[in-house]
Amino acid sequence: MTAESTAGQSKLDENRSGKSRIMLVENHPVMRDTCRLLIDSNDHIEVCAAFATAEEALQQTPLLRPDLVLIDISLPGMSGIEFSMSVRAIAPDLPVLLMTGHGDERYRQEAADAGATGLVFKHEGPVALLSAIDEMLAIRT
């Protein structure tokens, strides 16, 4: 378990804010930190844990019980697509929002086929990412 996931674990116990909890999975530290800052700057959502691999995120999902998983498609080891399929066995109703830097629209269908709730392209920017998160959280409630 990384230091970031340990911090996420303690946040589970401390979360009395009523904010929606986002599990973030991104292997690039700059992108992971940027997404965390963007999400945490909003008054209704927060990052409850951040991981560099889908395997670690999948293992921690039952413990952390996030409201949404935001995960990159391209990760070392298990991909975001594979995570989307695997997480259904342990959290069938958990929204999974995939993000990708690849501009290929074929990923939208691949994401849907894998059971992901949505897909956002990184080039669409922070407003599109936050809108997609809000849309996915609205589906859950």
**pLDDT tens digits for 97-134?**
999 888 777 778 888 888 889 999 999 999 999 999 99
In a domain, 32, yes or no: yes
Q: Is residue 72 part of a domain?
A: yes
Number of independent structural domains in the chain: 1
Q: Is the pTM value of this prediction over 0.95?
A: no
pLDDT tens across 101-110, in order? 887 777 788 8
Residue among 29, 16, 39, 68 at smallest CA distance from 126: 39
Structural domain boundaries enclosing 90: 3-7+23-140
Instruction: Supply 93's token pair.
Output: 């109703």
CATH at 83 = 3.40.50.2300
In a domain, 12, yes or no: no
| Kind and range of the H or E run holding 127 | helix 126-140
Q: What is the pLDDT of residue 106?
A: 77
Q: Percentage of the chain surpassing pLDDT 70?
A: 87
Confidence of residue 24 (pLDDT cuts 50, 70, 90): very high
**Dihedral-angle region of residue 44 (phi above 0 means left; psi in -120 to 50 means alpha; beta otherwise):** alpha
Question: Residues 24, 32: contact at Cβ < 8 Å?
Answer: yes
Terminal CA-CA length for the chain: 30
